[in-house]
Amino acid sequence: MVKRKTIAVIGGGVSGLAAAKAFDEKGHRVIGFERSHDFGGVWELSRSYPDVQTQSPKDLYCYTDHPMPEDYPEWPKGPQVHAYLHSYAQKHKLSRLFRLNSNILSMDRRHDGKPGWTLTIDEAGHVRQEDFDFVAICTGQFSEKNIISHPGQEDFIAQGGQVIHSSDYTDPAMMQGKRVVVLGGSKSATDIAVNAAKNGAKQVTMVYRENVWRVPYFVGGINFKHLLYMRAQEQQFNQWGKSPFQRVIAGIPKPLVWANFRGLETLLKLQLGLKKWNMVPDTPIEKEASCSLPIVTPGLFESFKSGAVTPIRGTFERYEGDEVLLTTGDRVKADIVVLAVGWKLGIPYLAQQFRDKLIEADGQYRTFRLSVNPDLPEMGFVGFNSSFCTILSAEMIANWLVRYADGQLAQQPSRAQMEANIEMMLDWRRRERPAAQVYGGLCSAPFHFKHFDELLSDMGARRRKRANPLAEQFSYPSAPAYGEFLASTPQYHAE
């Protein structure tokens, strides 16, 4: 018999909702904590920059039992995703499980000596403690702003300049007539540069450090979901855990794989005009594909062409008066600087002694299946297995985690198995696939199928693949199909 536990879910974004549903469904007592006034995480309206839209097509960015509405566009806008998440919470009556405006200040082993954790919670100014048998950490990779500054910034601000983090750009009216400099080359940087140009900025400069491969929504006229998300494609990247025999077999089609990726690169260079903008990356695309691979903001290269946005490869050296001095020697006049330099990955509320067990000196996380660590019992991560279809990844790992917590995985891993797997994955990231080290190694893309196969196998799913082998090899992960696979796992209920 599985004993009913009291579970804390920290975070009310995509992953917190998935975790709350998975644990509640199995009969546990769930209390969710969200520090903001609303659900949604990165999609919460006051945190979204104008015109934000998904990178994933809508049928790749949804829960297994809840498709996005038919009238949504292929790549829904931020407010539509936010409304979708609310409709999911409503469908599964998840609001009753959450306390909003509740910030977790710290997380330590239970003070009463029982297994589990004591959370210190700030509920709208009222600080108190509560004990839990298990904690699902769902605070994502975008919760602590990466704030950087450069020499001269204070004087720049004193003389009327503005410096903001990308997530604080919520009002396009602020760009009207302004000289804008965006620091960064990620999707949020290009989104904001294009948006500022569209909203009357006098001049927009995008200062970025490295050339990276960018994928347009349509590659050679074909929606990228039909090209990049296939099991057949995924097998061409250097995956983890290959036996010596599998390595030999994988070597046979290498010339074809090489030709395939060179073909894709040529197509991207031609379609986007990368050579003209001196934006051809040095790294082969198959080595770079990971969660940080940006999708091209619509209108980006057109804005370069029209002069509405000027790209400069370099970074900031310092501010001087109303100018930003770049490492290239360029001086750019600025009224507003947008720092699109991302987020600090971390779990600041977890006591340092536990973080030391979890995070290696080079920032890599020690997690089994991107969720649990044998030195940190009674806790696990949901959504730290980010991907190109993070809602599905979060739901898959939430379902895995509840079974892990209940000792109900068909293959419940021993400490030794987890440790061996963690070491193998660290070694693979460091030696064979450096791109997989992004976000502390917490990214399952582009290995969606392999990751899901492992989770389903652990859970004892009777079905793991679609009946049609061609569909299984040559089409993207289907959320409804994964719903069926999850339903084929052994079921139980905590009492």
Nearest distance, CB of residue 321 and ligand FAD, angstroms:
33
Check binding of 42 to ligand FAD (CB under 6 A).
yes
Nearest distance, CB of residue 26 and ligand FAD, angstroms:
20
Check binding of 294 to ligand FAD (CB under 6 A).
no
Residue from the set 5, 15, 272, 380 that interacts with ligand FAD by CB under 6 A: 15
Residue from the set 21, 41, 213, 436 that interacts with ligand FAD by CB under 6 A: 41
- Footprint of ligand FAD on 414-453 (CB under 6 A): none
Check binding of 52 to ligand FAD (CB under 6 A).
yes
Check binding of 190 to ligand FAD (CB under 6 A).
no
Considering only the stretches 168-176, 192-200, 384-392, 473-481, report the one whose residues sit in contact with ligand FAD under the rule CB under 6 A: 384-392
Long-range contacts of 142-149 (CB under 8 A, 24+ apart): 142/41, 142/42, 142/167, 142/342, 142/343, 143/11, 143/41, 143/343, 144/343, 144/344, 144/345, 144/346, 144/348, 145/343, 145/344, 146/339, 146/341, 146/342, 146/343, 146/344, 147/339, 148/339, 148/341
Considering only the stretches 48-56, 233-241, 257-265, 395-403, report the one whose residues sit in contact with ligand FAD under the rule CB under 6 A: 48-56
Residue from the set 4, 25, 29, 36 that interacts with ligand FAD by CB under 6 A: 36
Fill in the per-residue mask, 104 to 143: x = in contact with ligand FAD (CB under 6 A), - = not in contact. x---------------------------------xxx-xx
Residue from the set 84, 213, 388, 476 that interacts with ligand FAD by CB under 6 A: 388
Cβ proximity to ligand FAD, 33 vs 208, nearer residue: 33
Check binding of 84 to ligand FAD (CB under 6 A).
no
Fill in the per-residue mask, 333 to 362: x = in contact with ligand FAD (CB under 6 A), - = not in contact. ----------------x-------------
Cβ proximity to ligand FAD, 203 vs 386, nearer residue: 386
Nearest distance, CB of residue 123 and ligand FAD, angstroms:
10
- Footprint of ligand FAD on 57-76 (CB under 6 A): 61
Residue from the set 9, 21, 33, 182 that interacts with ligand FAD by CB under 6 A: 33
Cβ proximity to ligand FAD, 324 vs 392, nearer residue: 392
What is the number of the residue whose Cβ is closest to ligand FAD?
A: 41
Q: Count interface residues toward ligand FAD (CB under 6 A).
A: 33
Residue from the set 5, 7, 23, 55 that interacts with ligand FAD by CB under 6 A: 55
Cβ proximity to ligand FAD, 49 vs 319, nearer residue: 49
> Rounded distance, CA 117 to CA 109, Å?
4
For ligand FAD, the binding residues (CB under 6 A) are 10-16, 33-36, 41-42, 52, 54-56, 61, 103-104, 138-140, 142-143, 188, 349, 383, 387-390, 394
